[in-house]
Structure 1
Amino acid sequence: MKLLLIPDKFKGSLTSEAVSKAFIAGVKNAGVEFTSHYIKASDGGDGFMQAVAHYRPCISVQVISENPIGKPIQSYYLYNQETNSAYIELANASGMELLKPDERNPLLTSTFGTGLQIRDAVQKGIKNVYIGLGGSATNDGGIGIAQALGYSFLDENSKKLKAIGSSLNQIKSIDDTGVLKGLKQVKFFAINDVTNPLFGENGAAHVYAAQKGASKLMIDELDLGLKNLDNVVLDKYHLQNAKLPGSGAAGGVAYGLKTFLGAKYFSGINFVLELSGVNELLSKERFDYLITGEGKIDEQTLNGKLIQGVVALGVRENIPVIAVCGKLAIEKEKLKIQGFFDVFEIQDSANDLGYNMKHAAGLLTAKTTEYFKLLKK
């Protein structure tokens, strides 16, 4: 049996490498004869730069930046000299993990810190900037990034607003006279795999803001704010990017990157798979199963996360896809319609989340052993 492993991390519990190791240990314990190949992947979210560095020679560029609530931090991005490209991970300066639980409030957070990283790259003469989206603590529509690059967002009195979520509703005009020189000579790429629009029932605020600390009232305010931003942009630039699939990624950062920097949207999983050389691998080798997984598989998994990209690869190459997860919160039949061969969860229902996260590796190995013993019969 030949296995191709492309799992996501189990957030807060296991890295993708640890998921693969625990899975392989389980297959070994099942007494199955097999070979395996592991691919380190990312959908553009947490772990994006690690995946890039795994496949491309890069140096780390240190930048004094700001976290989502404006506190100074030491951050970094990656630089590849051969292609004169920078790889920036949004979560590195604007991520939810940079804040304590009681600091998380998307009305008050900003992507300004990520904008400082982009500014540094542009000023160094870098001509290609790839921004991996995901894991953000923000819902600012990308105005924080834009402000760091010289855009100003003004209220009805032409007063400059702070680039945070609560300002979105107050924006009446945009001043771009101070935009950083050389910005138009740089190619920008927004790397992510979610398909949400900017606002509305399936938009950035309604789908993702709650996990960033927003209440129902805050979500409604943020959604209206994003709609207002789009209206101001339409009036100023005659651009309509809000409904493009993916514009709602990372609290609307994708929309901001496209609107203010002319960024192209690029599938995160396809980007990393291309870096990994998986197409060349599959042209030479045939695999019996493609293994993927993440901490929780639910409806959001079908909104363009890494797993959906892996399933698409499996369908294209006619390789059955088995997914493993800590918790399964969607009917298996829905997943099978999407192309999954099978999926199994590893949680011990007799214990709480903390126990399951702490013992995830052992649980994964045990459940994998059990599954493959049945599979080989």
Structure 2
Amino acid sequence: MNILIAPDSFKGSLSALKVANAIETGINKVDSSINTLTLPLADGGEGTMEAIIAATQGQKFTVNTVDALGRDISAAYGVTGNKKTAIVELATASGIDLIDHQELNPAVTSTYGTGILIKDAIQRGIREITICLGGSATNDGGTGLLKALGFNFKDEFGTVLDEGGLSLKNLHEIDDSEILTELADCQFNIACDVTNPFIGNHGASAVFGPQKGATPALVQALDQALEHFADILQQKYAISIHNVSGAGAAGGAAGGLYGCLNAQICSGFDVIAQTLNLNELLSTKHIDLILTGEGQLDAQTDNGKVISGISRYANRYHIPTIALVGGIQNISHTLYDNRVISVFSIVNRPMSLSQSMESAADLITKQTEQIMRLYLSKS
């Protein structure tokens, strides 16, 4: 029997690799002769780099860069085991968790530090770049990142604009005369799990600006600045990013990269699946069962989360799937339609959230053992 163990992390508790190891331990307690293949997964958000490195035997590179306020920090990006693809999580350099709450100011925060990571990868010879969005402290439309790659954003007097989204209201020219020559050979893929457009009531500023410190007045000003940026970009490249689905991700970074670098905006899970050759694995490894999981099953699960994503792929190859989760708020029948045969909570007695998180590995192992005993008895 061949079982694919393909979970997401249990956020705040266990990495995807540790979840996979706990599941494998539970399987071995029942039958150590079962052949297991572990494939830690992610949905394009936090933990994606670690999951891909673990799955491909890749490596991390640590770089001196800056945070969203321009202060010196060190941050890492990953390179897959075949050395073809760099995995850059925007949050590692430009993340909201790197800044104290009272310092949050999307008028001036910048993605420049993330651009430094990407530039380093390109200079190492990497030409496929996967950028994982989420958790940013920024609302600059990705212009900071683009500056690190050689783009210059100038006002009507030819002066380069200050960092941050608000300065884009003064944008007059996008100067790409000094961009890295290697960009012509690069393929950029954007992994995100939101569909918000670049501007408007559902855009980057309106939806995500407040959580980054924007007042209602600043939200309006930032939205106008991003709209002006989109107008100038359209004049420059004949590409409209205003209403592109997903362009509002990470303070509009997805839109800026889409317009200036011809980046592809994709479901985070699908980008990860492509990087890990999930289709090939499922079609050639004769998988009999998939065990997956993540911390919470709720209304967001269908929107590109790991359980939803892996079940879609499993359904193509008629492979039954079982999910282990920390908590269950809502189960979509879409999951059952995609061959998820059952969902189990790992909590086996009354306990607090903190208790379940502290004991997650042991709880996952115990629940996996019971699942396998039940599953094998019916085989």
TM-score class, shorter-chain normalisation, is 0.7 to 0.9
Distance change >3 Å, CA 255–CA 97, structure 1 → 2 = same
Counterpart Cα distance in 1 of 2:222 and 2:291: 38
Partner of 2:181: 182
Distance change >3 Å, CA 342–CA 60, structure 1 → 2 = closer
Partner of 2:336: 336
Say whether the 8 Å CA contact 1:2–1:36 is kept in structure 2: yes
Matched, 1:20 2:20: yes
Partner of 2:193: 194
Counterpart Cα distance in 2 of 1:288 and 1:201: 46
Counterpart Cα distance in 2 of 1:334 and 1:255: 30
Name the SS for the 1:291 alignment partner. Answer: strand
Say whether the 8 Å CA contact 1:288–1:320 is kept in structure 2: yes
Name the SS for the 1:319 alignment partner. Answer: coil
Name the SS for the 1:301 alignment partner. Answer: coil
Name the SS for the 1:303 alignment partner. Answer: coil
Name the SS for the 2:300 alignment partner. Answer: helix
Partner of 2:300: 300
Structure 2 counterparts to residues 323-362 of structure 1, below 5 A: 323-333=323-333, 335-337=335-337, 340-347=340-347, 350-362=350-362
Counterpart Cα distance in 2 of 1:362 and 1:216: 46
Partner of 2:95: 95
Name the SS for the 1:3 alignment partner. Answer: strand
Name the SS for the 1:45 alignment partner. Answer: coil
Counterpart Cα distance in 2 of 1:308 and 1:206: 28
- Where does the alignment leave 5 or more consecutive residues of structure 2 unmatched? none
Moved more, 269-278 or 355-364: 269-278
Matched, 1:248 2:216: no
**Shift in Å, 1:158:** 6.8
Counterpart Cα distance in 2 of 1:114 and 1:372: 43
User: What count of residue pairs does the alignment treat as equivalent?
Assistant: 375
Matched, 1:39 2:39: yes
Counterpart Cα distance in 2 of 1:372 and 1:216: 52
Moved more, 77-86 or 319-328: 77-86
What letter corresponds to residue 133 of structure 2 in structure 1? G
Partner of 1:286: 286
Say whether the 8 Å CA contact 2:205–2:220 is kept in structure 1: yes
Distance change >3 Å, CA 174–CA 336, structure 1 → 2 = farther
Counterpart Cα distance in 2 of 1:216 and 1:30: 57
Structure 2 counterparts to residues 123-138 of structure 1, below 5 A: 124=123, 126=125, 128-137=127-136, 138=138
CA-to-partner distance for each residue in 1:328-373, whole Å, 9 max, x for gaps?
3334435435664332333579544333322222333344445555
Distance change >3 Å, CA 332–CA 45, structure 1 → 2 = closer
CA-to-partner distance for each residue in 1:89-133, whole Å, 9 max, x for gaps?
3233223343345545544432110112233344x3736141331
Aligned-pair identity in percent equals 34
Counterpart Cα distance in 2 of 1:149 and 1:143: 10
Counterpart Cα distance in 1 of 2:171 and 2:276: 45
What letter corresponds to residue 67 of structure 1 in structure 2? D
Counterpart Cα distance in 1 of 2:188 and 2:363: 38
What letter corresponds to residue 72 of structure 1 in structure 2? D
**Shift in Å, 1:156:** 7.6
Say whether the 8 Å CA contact 1:204–1:251 is kept in structure 2: yes
Distance change >3 Å, CA 335–CA 214, structure 1 → 2 = farther
Counterpart Cα distance in 2 of 1:59 and 1:148: 23
Distance change >3 Å, CA 225–CA 294, structure 1 → 2 = farther
TM-score by length of 2: 0.80
**Shift in Å, 1:310:** 1.2
Distance change >3 Å, CA 84–CA 5, structure 1 → 2 = closer
**Shift in Å, 1:164:** 2.2
**Shift in Å, 1:273:** 3.7
Say whether the 8 Å CA contact 1:192–1:249 is kept in structure 2: no
- Where does the alignment leave 5 or more consecutive residues of structure 1 unmatched? none
Partner of 2:69: 69
What letter corresponds to residue 89 of structure 2 in structure 1? E
Distance change >3 Å, CA 264–CA 126, structure 1 → 2 = farther
Counterpart Cα distance in 2 of 1:81 and 1:5: 20
Name the SS for the 1:336 alignment partner. Answer: helix
Partner of 1:173: 172
What letter corresponds to residue 70 of structure 1 in structure 2? G
Counterpart Cα distance in 1 of 2:303 and 2:65: 31
Counterpart Cα distance in 2 of 1:209 and 1:294: 27
Distance change >3 Å, CA 344–CA 113, structure 1 → 2 = same
